[in-house]
Structure 1
Amino acid sequence: MRVFVAGATGAIGRQLVPRLVGAGHEVHGMTRRESKQAMLRELGAVPVVADALDPDQVAEAVGRARPDVIVHQLTAIAALDMRHFDRDFAVTNRLRIEGTDHLLSAGQAVGVRRFVAQGVAGYGAYARTGAPIKTEEDPLDPAPAREMRQTLAAIRHLEQAVLGARWTEGIVLRYGAFYGPGTSMAPGGQQPELIRQRKFPLVGDGGGVWSFIHVADAAEATVAAVEHGSRGVYNVVDDHPAPVAEWLPALAQELGARKPMRVPRLIGRLFAGEAGVVMMTELRGASNAKAKRELGWHPAHPSWRHGLAAA
Protein backbone atom coordinates (compact mmCIF):
# COMPACT_ATOMS: atom_id res chain seq x y z
CA MET A 1 0.00 0.00 0.00
CA ARG A 2 0.95 3.64 -0.37
CA VAL A 3 1.08 5.20 3.11
CA PHE A 4 1.28 8.93 3.85
CA VAL A 5 2.80 9.63 7.28
CA ALA A 6 2.26 13.14 8.64
CA GLY A 7 4.77 13.81 11.39
CA ALA A 8 7.23 11.34 9.91
CA THR A 9 10.30 12.73 11.69
CA GLY A 10 8.90 12.72 15.25
CA ALA A 11 9.67 10.13 17.92
CA ILE A 12 7.02 7.74 16.59
CA GLY A 13 7.57 8.62 12.94
CA ARG A 14 11.25 7.71 13.06
CA GLN A 15 10.30 4.27 14.36
CA LEU A 16 7.26 3.84 12.14
CA VAL A 17 8.58 4.76 8.70
CA PRO A 18 11.29 2.07 8.43
CA ARG A 19 8.87 -0.55 9.74
CA LEU A 20 6.31 0.34 7.10
CA VAL A 21 9.02 0.29 4.42
CA GLY A 22 10.27 -3.05 5.71
CA ALA A 23 6.73 -4.44 5.45
CA GLY A 24 6.70 -3.56 1.74
CA HIS A 25 4.72 -0.32 1.78
CA GLU A 26 5.56 2.79 -0.24
CA VAL A 27 5.89 5.53 2.36
CA HIS A 28 5.56 9.26 1.81
CA GLY A 29 6.80 11.08 4.90
CA MET A 30 5.66 14.64 5.58
CA THR A 31 7.75 17.18 7.47
CA ARG A 32 7.56 20.96 7.57
CA ARG A 33 11.35 21.34 7.49
CA GLU A 34 13.40 21.15 4.30
CA SER A 35 16.41 20.11 6.39
CA LYS A 36 14.76 16.81 7.34
CA GLN A 37 14.37 15.48 3.81
CA ALA A 38 17.68 13.62 4.02
CA MET A 39 16.57 11.87 7.21
CA LEU A 40 13.38 10.72 5.53
CA ARG A 41 15.29 9.34 2.55
CA GLU A 42 17.57 7.43 4.94
CA LEU A 43 14.49 5.98 6.64
CA GLY A 44 13.27 4.80 3.23
CA ALA A 45 10.48 7.33 2.65
CA VAL A 46 9.70 9.73 -0.16
CA PRO A 47 10.14 13.17 1.50
CA VAL A 48 7.21 15.58 1.45
CA VAL A 49 7.66 19.14 2.75
CA ALA A 50 4.45 20.84 3.88
CA ASP A 51 3.06 22.87 6.76
CA ALA A 52 0.31 20.81 8.40
CA LEU A 53 -1.49 24.02 9.41
CA ASP A 54 -1.74 25.21 5.80
CA PRO A 55 -4.71 23.48 4.12
CA ASP A 56 -3.48 24.18 0.60
CA GLN A 57 -0.05 22.71 1.25
CA VAL A 58 -1.58 19.62 2.86
CA ALA A 59 -4.05 19.15 0.00
CA GLU A 60 -1.25 19.45 -2.57
CA ALA A 61 1.03 17.03 -0.68
CA VAL A 62 -1.65 14.38 -0.24
CA GLY A 63 -2.89 14.91 -3.78
CA ARG A 64 0.59 14.21 -5.18
CA ALA A 65 1.10 11.10 -3.05
CA ARG A 66 -2.43 9.70 -3.57
CA PRO A 67 -2.10 7.35 -0.59
CA ASP A 68 -4.24 4.39 0.37
CA VAL A 69 -3.68 5.18 4.06
CA ILE A 70 -2.92 8.38 5.99
CA VAL A 71 -1.20 8.15 9.36
CA HIS A 72 -1.51 11.28 11.51
CA GLN A 73 1.37 11.54 14.01
CA LEU A 74 1.57 15.32 14.20
CA THR A 75 2.73 16.82 17.51
CA ALA A 76 4.96 19.72 18.57
CA ILE A 77 5.84 19.05 22.20
CA ALA A 78 9.05 20.39 23.71
CA ALA A 79 9.61 20.90 27.44
CA LEU A 80 6.46 20.62 29.52
CA ASP A 81 5.62 22.70 32.58
CA MET A 82 2.65 21.11 34.35
CA ARG A 83 1.54 24.51 35.65
CA HIS A 84 1.07 25.67 32.06
CA PHE A 85 -0.05 22.43 30.42
CA ASP A 86 -2.30 23.94 27.76
CA ARG A 87 0.25 26.65 26.94
CA ASP A 88 2.95 24.07 26.24
CA PHE A 89 0.53 21.94 24.18
CA ALA A 90 -0.86 24.91 22.24
CA VAL A 91 0.74 24.07 18.87
CA THR A 92 0.04 20.36 19.30
CA ASN A 93 -3.59 21.21 20.04
CA ARG A 94 -3.77 23.15 16.77
CA LEU A 95 -2.30 20.16 14.96
CA ARG A 96 -4.94 17.93 16.57
CA ILE A 97 -7.72 20.25 15.47
CA GLU A 98 -6.70 22.10 12.31
CA GLY A 99 -4.12 19.54 11.20
CA THR A 100 -6.60 16.70 11.58
CA ASP A 101 -9.24 18.57 9.59
CA HIS A 102 -6.78 19.41 6.79
CA LEU A 103 -5.58 15.81 6.51
CA LEU A 104 -9.13 14.43 6.53
CA SER A 105 -10.21 16.88 3.84
CA ALA A 106 -7.23 16.03 1.67
CA GLY A 107 -7.73 12.32 2.28
CA GLN A 108 -11.37 12.44 1.30
CA ALA A 109 -10.47 14.21 -1.94
CA VAL A 110 -8.23 11.31 -3.02
CA GLY A 111 -10.34 8.48 -1.56
CA VAL A 112 -8.10 7.33 1.30
CA ARG A 113 -9.26 3.91 2.51
CA ARG A 114 -7.93 4.12 6.06
CA PHE A 115 -7.02 7.02 8.36
CA VAL A 116 -4.96 6.23 11.49
CA ALA A 117 -4.46 8.97 14.07
CA GLN A 118 -2.47 9.41 17.26
CA GLY A 119 -4.72 9.58 20.30
CA VAL A 120 -3.94 9.61 24.02
CA ALA A 121 -4.50 7.12 26.82
CA GLY A 122 -2.42 9.06 29.34
CA TYR A 123 -2.28 12.48 31.02
CA GLY A 124 -5.87 12.56 32.19
CA ALA A 125 -7.67 11.47 29.04
CA TYR A 126 -9.97 8.98 30.78
CA ALA A 127 -12.55 9.96 33.39
CA ARG A 128 -11.06 9.96 36.90
CA THR A 129 -13.84 7.91 38.43
CA GLY A 130 -14.52 4.20 38.69
CA ALA A 131 -12.04 1.45 37.92
CA PRO A 132 -8.29 2.22 37.92
CA ILE A 133 -7.86 0.56 34.50
CA LYS A 134 -9.97 1.74 31.57
CA THR A 135 -11.01 0.13 28.30
CA GLU A 136 -11.84 1.86 25.04
CA GLU A 137 -15.52 1.77 26.03
CA ASP A 138 -14.95 4.01 29.05
CA PRO A 139 -15.64 7.75 28.69
CA LEU A 140 -13.01 10.45 28.42
CA ASP A 141 -12.78 12.90 31.32
CA PRO A 142 -15.84 15.20 31.21
CA ALA A 143 -14.26 17.68 33.66
CA PRO A 144 -10.48 17.86 33.16
CA ALA A 145 -8.18 19.99 35.28
CA ARG A 146 -8.36 23.68 34.37
CA GLU A 147 -4.85 23.73 32.86
CA MET A 148 -5.72 20.71 30.65
CA ARG A 149 -9.10 21.72 29.24
CA GLN A 150 -7.87 22.95 25.87
CA THR A 151 -5.68 19.87 25.41
CA LEU A 152 -8.50 17.45 26.22
CA ALA A 153 -10.84 19.43 23.94
CA ALA A 154 -8.33 19.00 21.10
CA ILE A 155 -8.12 15.26 21.77
CA ARG A 156 -11.90 15.01 21.68
CA HIS A 157 -12.00 16.93 18.39
CA LEU A 158 -9.47 14.59 16.80
CA GLU A 159 -11.33 11.48 17.89
CA GLN A 160 -14.75 12.73 16.84
CA ALA A 161 -13.47 13.92 13.46
CA VAL A 162 -11.60 10.70 12.66
CA LEU A 163 -14.26 8.29 13.91
CA GLY A 164 -17.01 10.39 12.32
CA ALA A 165 -15.46 10.24 8.84
CA ARG A 166 -17.79 7.61 7.39
CA TRP A 167 -16.09 7.70 4.00
CA THR A 168 -12.96 5.98 5.38
CA GLU A 169 -11.90 3.49 8.05
CA GLY A 170 -11.12 5.88 10.91
CA ILE A 171 -8.82 4.53 13.62
CA VAL A 172 -7.56 6.27 16.76
CA LEU A 173 -4.62 4.74 18.64
CA ARG A 174 -4.61 5.92 22.24
CA TYR A 175 -0.93 5.65 23.11
CA GLY A 176 0.34 5.44 26.67
CA ALA A 177 3.20 7.52 28.08
CA PHE A 178 6.10 7.16 25.65
CA TYR A 179 9.60 6.12 26.58
CA GLY A 180 12.55 5.12 24.45
CA PRO A 181 14.58 6.99 21.79
CA GLY A 182 13.51 10.54 21.06
CA THR A 183 11.13 10.83 24.03
CA SER A 184 11.28 12.88 27.22
CA MET A 185 11.93 9.61 29.06
CA ALA A 186 15.04 8.81 27.03
CA PRO A 187 18.44 8.97 28.77
CA GLY A 188 19.23 12.65 29.23
CA GLY A 189 15.60 13.55 28.66
CA GLN A 190 13.56 15.98 30.73
CA GLN A 191 11.96 13.49 33.10
CA PRO A 192 15.01 11.37 34.04
CA GLU A 193 16.96 14.55 34.73
CA LEU A 194 14.22 15.89 36.98
CA ILE A 195 14.20 12.58 38.85
CA ARG A 196 17.99 12.64 39.24
CA GLN A 197 17.78 16.17 40.68
CA ARG A 198 14.91 15.21 43.02
CA LYS A 199 12.66 17.71 41.26
CA PHE A 200 10.05 15.05 40.44
CA PRO A 201 8.49 14.41 43.85
CA LEU A 202 5.80 11.93 44.80
CA VAL A 203 2.62 13.96 45.37
CA GLY A 204 0.02 12.81 47.87
CA ASP A 205 -0.47 9.06 47.83
CA GLY A 206 0.98 8.70 44.33
CA GLY A 207 -2.14 6.76 43.40
CA GLY A 208 -2.37 8.02 39.82
CA VAL A 209 -2.08 5.00 37.48
CA TRP A 210 0.14 5.42 34.42
CA SER A 211 0.23 3.23 31.33
CA PHE A 212 3.55 3.27 29.49
CA ILE A 213 4.56 2.20 26.00
CA HIS A 214 7.96 1.97 24.30
CA VAL A 215 7.98 3.97 21.06
CA ALA A 216 9.09 0.89 19.10
CA ASP A 217 6.08 -1.05 20.40
CA ALA A 218 3.82 1.90 19.55
CA ALA A 219 5.21 1.85 16.01
CA GLU A 220 4.58 -1.89 15.67
CA ALA A 221 0.98 -1.43 16.78
CA THR A 222 0.60 1.37 14.23
CA VAL A 223 1.81 -0.87 11.42
CA ALA A 224 -0.77 -3.46 12.48
CA ALA A 225 -3.50 -0.79 12.45
CA VAL A 226 -2.41 0.40 8.99
CA GLU A 227 -2.57 -3.12 7.60
CA HIS A 228 -5.71 -4.55 9.21
CA GLY A 229 -7.21 -2.24 11.82
CA SER A 230 -10.96 -1.69 11.97
CA ARG A 231 -12.87 1.53 12.61
CA GLY A 232 -12.64 2.48 16.26
CA VAL A 233 -10.29 3.15 19.15
CA TYR A 234 -7.41 1.03 20.45
CA ASN A 235 -5.40 1.53 23.62
CA VAL A 236 -1.72 1.04 22.77
CA VAL A 237 -0.09 0.51 26.15
CA ASP A 238 2.00 -2.14 27.89
CA ASP A 239 0.66 -4.97 30.04
CA HIS A 240 1.33 -3.43 33.44
CA PRO A 241 -0.32 -0.12 34.35
CA ALA A 242 1.28 1.13 37.57
CA PRO A 243 0.63 3.82 40.17
CA VAL A 244 3.16 6.62 40.47
CA ALA A 245 4.00 5.37 43.98
CA GLU A 246 5.32 2.19 42.32
CA TRP A 247 7.02 3.29 39.14
CA LEU A 248 8.63 6.58 40.26
CA PRO A 249 10.75 5.12 43.11
CA ALA A 250 11.66 2.16 40.88
CA LEU A 251 12.87 4.46 38.12
CA ALA A 252 14.79 6.63 40.57
CA GLN A 253 16.57 3.53 41.84
CA GLU A 254 17.37 2.44 38.29
CA LEU A 255 18.85 5.89 37.59
CA GLY A 256 20.95 5.73 40.73
CA ALA A 257 19.08 8.72 42.14
CA ARG A 258 17.96 9.29 45.70
CA LYS A 259 14.44 8.28 46.65
CA PRO A 260 11.91 10.88 45.44
CA MET A 261 10.63 13.33 48.01
CA ARG A 262 7.00 12.96 49.08
CA VAL A 263 4.93 16.14 49.35
CA PRO A 264 1.25 16.72 50.22
CA ARG A 265 -1.22 17.62 47.47
CA LEU A 266 -1.33 21.28 48.55
CA ILE A 267 2.43 21.67 48.11
CA GLY A 268 2.31 19.70 44.87
CA ARG A 269 -0.27 22.12 43.51
CA LEU A 270 2.11 25.05 44.10
CA PHE A 271 4.89 23.73 41.88
CA ALA A 272 3.00 21.43 39.49
CA GLY A 273 -0.44 23.01 39.31
CA GLU A 274 -3.73 21.16 39.31
CA ALA A 275 -2.70 19.19 36.22
CA GLY A 276 0.40 17.82 37.94
CA VAL A 277 -1.57 16.79 41.02
CA VAL A 278 -4.16 15.03 38.85
CA MET A 279 -1.48 13.08 37.03
CA MET A 280 0.18 12.08 40.28
CA THR A 281 -2.93 11.13 42.23
CA GLU A 282 -5.99 10.58 40.01
CA LEU A 283 -4.85 9.35 36.57
CA ARG A 284 -6.39 6.12 35.28
CA GLY A 285 -4.49 3.45 33.41
CA ALA A 286 -5.59 1.62 30.26
CA SER A 287 -6.05 -1.96 29.10
CA ASN A 288 -4.43 -3.21 25.89
CA ALA A 289 -6.66 -6.31 25.58
CA LYS A 290 -8.50 -5.02 22.51
CA ALA A 291 -5.33 -4.13 20.59
CA LYS A 292 -3.89 -7.56 21.35
CA ARG A 293 -7.07 -9.33 20.34
CA GLU A 294 -7.99 -7.40 17.20
CA LEU A 295 -4.62 -6.21 15.88
CA GLY A 296 -2.66 -9.33 16.77
CA TRP A 297 -0.14 -7.05 18.45
CA HIS A 298 1.91 -7.81 21.56
CA PRO A 299 4.44 -5.36 23.02
CA ALA A 300 8.05 -6.51 22.92
CA HIS A 301 8.45 -4.52 26.15
CA PRO A 302 5.46 -5.87 28.12
CA SER A 303 6.39 -4.10 31.35
CA TRP A 304 7.65 -0.58 32.03
CA ARG A 305 9.81 -2.08 34.80
CA HIS A 306 12.06 -3.94 32.37
CA GLY A 307 11.53 -1.65 29.40
CA LEU A 308 12.59 1.53 31.19
CA ALA A 309 15.64 -0.22 32.62
CA ALA A 310 16.68 -1.39 29.14
CA ALA A 311 16.06 2.07 27.68
Structure 2
Amino acid sequence: MTAALSKRRVFMTGASGYLGSRLIPLLLDAGHSVHALLRASSRHRPPAGCTCLWGDPLDGATFQDGIRGCDTFLQLVGTPKPAPWKGAQFRNVDRVSGLASIAAATQSGRPHFIYISVAHPAPIMKDYIAVRAECETALVGSGMPATILRPWYVLGPGHWWPILLAPAYRIAEQWPSTSEAAGRLGLLTIQDMLNALVWSVEHPAETIREMNVPDIRRLTGGGR
Protein backbone atom coordinates (compact mmCIF):
# COMPACT_ATOMS: atom_id res chain seq x y z
CA MET A 1 0.00 0.00 0.00
CA THR A 2 1.21 3.50 -0.73
CA ALA A 3 1.18 6.19 1.93
CA ALA A 4 -1.70 8.63 1.89
CA LEU A 5 -0.85 12.02 0.45
CA SER A 6 -2.46 15.26 1.55
CA LYS A 7 -4.35 17.61 -0.70
CA ARG A 8 -4.60 16.51 -4.31
CA ARG A 9 -5.54 18.43 -7.45
CA VAL A 10 -8.01 16.22 -9.31
CA PHE A 11 -9.04 16.61 -12.94
CA MET A 12 -12.34 14.79 -13.48
CA THR A 13 -14.32 13.85 -16.56
CA GLY A 14 -17.91 12.72 -16.07
CA ALA A 15 -18.23 15.13 -13.17
CA SER A 16 -22.00 15.53 -13.50
CA GLY A 17 -22.68 11.80 -13.84
CA TYR A 18 -23.80 9.01 -11.54
CA LEU A 19 -20.49 8.59 -9.71
CA GLY A 20 -18.93 11.99 -10.31
CA SER A 21 -21.77 14.00 -8.78
CA ARG A 22 -21.53 11.92 -5.60
CA LEU A 23 -17.74 11.80 -5.50
CA ILE A 24 -17.08 15.53 -5.78
CA PRO A 25 -18.47 16.47 -2.32
CA LEU A 26 -16.41 13.69 -0.71
CA LEU A 27 -13.20 14.92 -2.32
CA LEU A 28 -13.91 18.54 -1.44
CA ASP A 29 -14.77 17.65 2.16
CA ALA A 30 -11.41 15.83 2.39
CA GLY A 31 -9.59 19.00 1.34
CA HIS A 32 -8.84 18.13 -2.28
CA SER A 33 -9.51 20.45 -5.20
CA VAL A 34 -11.54 19.28 -8.20
CA HIS A 35 -11.24 20.56 -11.76
CA ALA A 36 -14.39 19.32 -13.46
CA LEU A 37 -14.65 18.92 -17.22
CA LEU A 38 -18.19 19.77 -18.33
CA ARG A 39 -19.98 19.97 -21.64
CA ALA A 40 -21.62 23.26 -22.59
CA SER A 41 -25.00 21.63 -21.91
CA SER A 42 -24.06 21.42 -18.20
CA ARG A 43 -23.49 25.16 -17.75
CA HIS A 44 -26.80 25.49 -15.92
CA ARG A 45 -25.81 22.94 -13.25
CA PRO A 46 -22.07 23.17 -12.50
CA PRO A 47 -20.94 21.20 -9.42
CA ALA A 48 -20.57 23.44 -6.38
CA GLY A 49 -17.05 24.06 -5.13
CA CYS A 50 -15.25 22.95 -8.31
CA THR A 51 -13.15 24.70 -10.86
CA CYS A 52 -15.20 24.16 -14.02
CA LEU A 53 -13.67 23.66 -17.45
CA TRP A 54 -15.84 23.55 -20.53
CA GLY A 55 -14.92 21.07 -23.23
CA ASP A 56 -15.77 17.86 -25.05
CA PRO A 57 -14.70 14.65 -23.27
CA LEU A 58 -14.49 12.98 -26.69
CA ASP A 59 -11.89 15.49 -27.92
CA GLY A 60 -8.72 15.75 -25.87
CA ALA A 61 -7.67 18.97 -27.58
CA THR A 62 -10.55 20.78 -25.84
CA PHE A 63 -9.33 19.98 -22.32
CA GLN A 64 -5.66 19.00 -22.53
CA ASP A 65 -4.39 22.34 -21.23
CA GLY A 66 -6.73 22.14 -18.24
CA ILE A 67 -4.97 19.01 -16.98
CA ARG A 68 -1.68 20.83 -16.40
CA GLY A 69 -1.01 21.37 -12.72
CA CYS A 70 -3.27 18.49 -11.66
CA ASP A 71 -1.67 15.44 -10.05
CA THR A 72 -4.66 13.10 -10.48
CA PHE A 73 -6.91 12.32 -13.46
CA LEU A 74 -10.27 10.63 -12.84
CA GLN A 75 -11.90 9.19 -15.96
CA LEU A 76 -15.61 8.75 -15.19
CA VAL A 77 -17.24 9.18 -18.61
CA GLY A 78 -19.31 6.17 -19.60
CA THR A 79 -22.57 5.01 -21.11
CA PRO A 80 -25.36 5.13 -18.47
CA LYS A 81 -26.82 1.78 -17.44
CA PRO A 82 -24.57 -0.44 -19.60
CA ALA A 83 -26.37 -3.28 -21.36
CA PRO A 84 -25.35 -5.85 -24.01
CA TRP A 85 -27.27 -4.03 -26.78
CA LYS A 86 -25.36 -0.75 -26.26
CA GLY A 87 -22.24 -1.81 -28.15
CA ALA A 88 -22.27 1.20 -30.48
CA GLN A 89 -22.45 3.59 -27.53
CA PHE A 90 -19.57 1.82 -25.82
CA ARG A 91 -17.43 2.22 -28.93
CA ASN A 92 -18.50 5.79 -29.71
CA VAL A 93 -18.48 7.21 -26.17
CA ASP A 94 -16.61 5.05 -23.65
CA ARG A 95 -13.82 4.07 -26.05
CA VAL A 96 -13.35 7.48 -27.67
CA SER A 97 -13.43 9.34 -24.37
CA GLY A 98 -11.12 6.88 -22.63
CA LEU A 99 -8.48 6.99 -25.34
CA ALA A 100 -8.76 10.78 -25.69
CA SER A 101 -8.27 11.24 -21.95
CA ILE A 102 -5.28 8.91 -21.82
CA ALA A 103 -3.62 10.71 -24.73
CA ALA A 104 -4.34 14.16 -23.28
CA ALA A 105 -3.07 13.24 -19.82
CA THR A 106 0.08 11.71 -21.30
CA GLN A 107 0.84 15.05 -22.96
CA SER A 108 -0.06 17.16 -19.92
CA GLY A 109 2.10 16.17 -16.99
CA ARG A 110 1.40 12.43 -16.78
CA PRO A 111 -0.74 12.52 -13.60
CA HIS A 112 -1.85 9.49 -11.63
CA PHE A 113 -4.66 8.18 -13.85
CA ILE A 114 -7.67 6.47 -12.25
CA TYR A 115 -9.74 4.39 -14.65
CA ILE A 116 -12.91 2.41 -14.00
CA SER A 117 -12.79 -0.67 -16.19
CA VAL A 118 -14.90 -3.80 -15.73
CA ALA A 119 -14.41 -7.26 -14.26
CA HIS A 120 -13.34 -9.80 -16.84
CA PRO A 121 -13.53 -12.40 -18.18
CA ALA A 122 -17.31 -12.62 -18.00
CA PRO A 123 -20.00 -14.52 -19.92
CA ILE A 124 -21.83 -11.40 -21.14
CA MET A 125 -21.15 -7.74 -22.04
CA LYS A 126 -18.47 -8.66 -24.59
CA ASP A 127 -18.50 -5.26 -26.36
CA TYR A 128 -18.25 -3.40 -23.06
CA ILE A 129 -15.38 -5.56 -21.89
CA ALA A 130 -13.56 -5.19 -25.22
CA VAL A 131 -13.71 -1.39 -25.05
CA ARG A 132 -12.57 -1.24 -21.44
CA ALA A 133 -9.76 -3.74 -22.07
CA GLU A 134 -8.55 -1.66 -25.03
CA CYS A 135 -8.41 1.43 -22.81
CA GLU A 136 -6.57 -0.55 -20.13
CA THR A 137 -3.97 -1.58 -22.71
CA ALA A 138 -3.54 2.02 -23.86
CA LEU A 139 -3.20 3.18 -20.28
CA VAL A 140 -0.52 0.61 -19.45
CA GLY A 141 1.29 1.51 -22.67
CA SER A 142 1.25 5.22 -21.82
CA GLY A 143 3.72 4.75 -18.97
CA MET A 144 1.61 6.84 -16.60
CA PRO A 145 1.08 5.63 -13.04
CA ALA A 146 -2.46 4.32 -12.91
CA THR A 147 -5.10 2.69 -10.78
CA ILE A 148 -7.49 0.44 -12.70
CA LEU A 149 -10.67 -0.52 -10.86
CA ARG A 150 -12.67 -3.49 -12.14
CA PRO A 151 -16.20 -3.63 -10.71
CA TRP A 152 -18.92 -5.78 -12.24
CA TYR A 153 -22.27 -4.37 -11.07
CA VAL A 154 -22.63 -1.41 -8.71
CA LEU A 155 -25.78 -1.31 -6.60
CA GLY A 156 -27.28 2.12 -5.97
CA PRO A 157 -30.18 4.42 -6.83
CA GLY A 158 -31.86 3.08 -9.96
CA HIS A 159 -29.57 0.04 -9.91
CA TRP A 160 -30.95 -2.22 -7.18
CA TRP A 161 -32.45 -5.20 -9.03
CA PRO A 162 -29.31 -7.46 -8.90
CA ILE A 163 -29.59 -7.54 -5.12
CA LEU A 164 -32.12 -10.31 -5.78
CA LEU A 165 -29.16 -12.42 -6.90
CA ALA A 166 -27.32 -12.07 -3.58
CA PRO A 167 -28.41 -15.52 -2.27
CA ALA A 168 -27.15 -17.17 -5.46
CA TYR A 169 -23.83 -15.34 -5.10
CA ARG A 170 -23.45 -16.60 -1.54
CA ILE A 171 -24.02 -20.17 -2.68
CA ALA A 172 -21.58 -19.83 -5.61
CA GLU A 173 -18.91 -18.42 -3.30
CA GLN A 174 -18.99 -21.66 -1.28
CA TRP A 175 -18.23 -23.99 -4.21
CA PRO A 176 -14.60 -24.37 -5.31
CA SER A 177 -15.58 -24.51 -8.99
CA THR A 178 -17.47 -21.19 -8.86
CA SER A 179 -15.96 -19.28 -5.94
CA GLU A 180 -13.35 -17.38 -7.99
CA ALA A 181 -15.84 -16.18 -10.59
CA ALA A 182 -18.42 -15.31 -7.93
CA GLY A 183 -15.85 -13.12 -6.20
CA ARG A 184 -14.55 -11.50 -9.38
CA LEU A 185 -18.08 -10.78 -10.66
CA GLY A 186 -19.48 -9.92 -7.25
CA LEU A 187 -21.82 -7.06 -6.43
CA LEU A 188 -20.56 -3.76 -5.03
CA THR A 189 -22.50 -0.84 -3.61
CA ILE A 190 -22.09 2.71 -4.80
CA GLN A 191 -20.54 3.47 -1.41
CA ASP A 192 -17.93 0.76 -2.03
CA MET A 193 -16.99 2.47 -5.29
CA LEU A 194 -16.91 5.95 -3.80
CA ASN A 195 -14.69 4.75 -0.96
CA ALA A 196 -12.36 3.06 -3.44
CA LEU A 197 -12.14 6.17 -5.61
CA VAL A 198 -11.37 8.48 -2.68
CA TRP A 199 -8.76 5.98 -1.45
CA SER A 200 -7.21 5.80 -4.92
CA VAL A 201 -6.96 9.58 -5.10
CA GLU A 202 -5.29 9.74 -1.69
CA HIS A 203 -2.97 6.76 -2.31
CA PRO A 204 -1.57 7.30 -5.82
CA ALA A 205 -0.04 4.30 -7.52
CA GLU A 206 3.62 4.42 -8.48
CA THR A 207 3.21 2.11 -11.47
CA ILE A 208 0.07 0.14 -12.43
CA ARG A 209 -2.31 -0.93 -9.68
CA GLU A 210 -5.25 -3.21 -10.48
CA MET A 211 -8.19 -3.45 -8.08
CA ASN A 212 -10.73 -6.21 -8.63
CA VAL A 213 -14.00 -6.66 -6.71
CA PRO A 214 -12.41 -8.41 -3.69
CA ASP A 215 -9.78 -5.64 -3.43
CA ILE A 216 -12.45 -2.93 -3.53
CA ARG A 217 -14.46 -4.73 -0.86
CA ARG A 218 -11.46 -4.94 1.45
CA LEU A 219 -11.24 -1.15 1.51
CA THR A 220 -14.71 -1.02 3.06
CA GLY A 221 -14.36 -3.70 5.67
CA GLY A 222 -13.95 -7.03 3.97
CA GLY A 223 -15.83 -9.32 1.65
CA ARG A 224 -19.49 -10.21 1.74
TM-score by length of 1: 0.56
Which residue in 1 is equivalent to 2:121?
A: 126
Q: Distance between the aligned counterparts of 1:226 and 1:175, measured in 2? A: 17
Q: Distance between the aligned counterparts of 1:5 and 1:29, measured in 2? A: 5
- Mapping of residues 128-277 of structure 1, within 5 Å: 148-166=125-143, 168-181=144-157, 183-185=158-160, 191=161, 209=182, 210-230=185-205, 231-235=208-212, 237=213
Give the 3 Å change call, closer, same or farther, for CA 32–78 of structure 1 in structure 2.
farther
Give the 3 Å change call, closer, same or farther, for CA 36–79 of structure 1 in structure 2.
farther
Give the 3 Å change call, closer, same or farther, for CA 214–299 of structure 1 in structure 2.
farther
Q: Indicate if the aligned counterparts of 1:28 and 1:46 stay in contact, CA closer than 8 A.
A: yes
Secondary structure, counterpart of 1:11 in structure 2:
coil
Secondary structure, counterpart of 1:218 in structure 2:
helix
- Mapping of residues 260-299 of structure 1, within 5 Å: 287-288=214-215, 292=218, 297-299=219-221
Give the 3 Å change call, closer, same or farther, for CA 117–79 of structure 1 in structure 2.
closer
Identity rate of aligned residues, in percent? 24
Which residue in 2 is equivalent to 1:262?
A: none
Structure 1 position 97 matched with structure 2 position 95: yes
Aligned with residue 70 of structure 2, among 63, 67, 72: 67
CA offset digits 1:253-280 (Å, max 9, x no partner): xxxxxxxxxxxxxxxxxxxxxxxxxxxx
TM-score by length of 2: 0.76
State how many pairs are aligned. 200
Root-mean-square deviation (CA), in Å?
A: 2.9
Which residue in 1 is equivalent to 2:3?
A: none
Give the 3 Å change call, closer, same or farther, for CA 13–36 of structure 1 in structure 2.
farther
Q: Which amino acid aligns with 1:58?
A: F
Q: Distance between the aligned counterparts of 2:71 and 2:204, measured in 1? A: 14
Q: Which has the larger radius of gyration?
A: 1
Q: Indicate if the aligned counterparts of 2:111 and 2:145 stay in contact, CA closer than 8 A.
A: yes
Aligned with residue 18 of structure 1, among 16, 25, 41: 25
Give the 3 Å change call, closer, same or farther, for CA 89–67 of structure 1 in structure 2.
farther
Secondary structure, counterpart of 1:40 in structure 2:
coil
Per mean C-alpha deviation after superposition, the further-off stretch among 170-179 and 32-41 is: 32-41
Q: Distance between the aligned counterparts of 1:221 and 1:53, measured in 2? A: 25
Q: Distance between the aligned counterparts of 2:151 and 2:137, measured in 1? A: 17
Q: Distance between the aligned counterparts of 1:3 and 1:105, measured in 2? A: 17
Q: Which amino acid aligns with 1:172?
A: I
The gaps in structure 2 that reach 5 residues or longer are: 1-7, 173-177
Structure 1 position 76 matched with structure 2 position 94: no
The gaps in structure 1 that reach 5 residues or longer are: 128-143, 186-190, 196-201, 238-286, 304-311
CA offset digits 1:135-172 (Å, max 9, x no partner): xxxxxxxxx65xx4332210111111122221x21111
Q: Indicate if the aligned counterparts of 2:65 and 2:108 stay in contact, CA closer than 8 A.
A: no
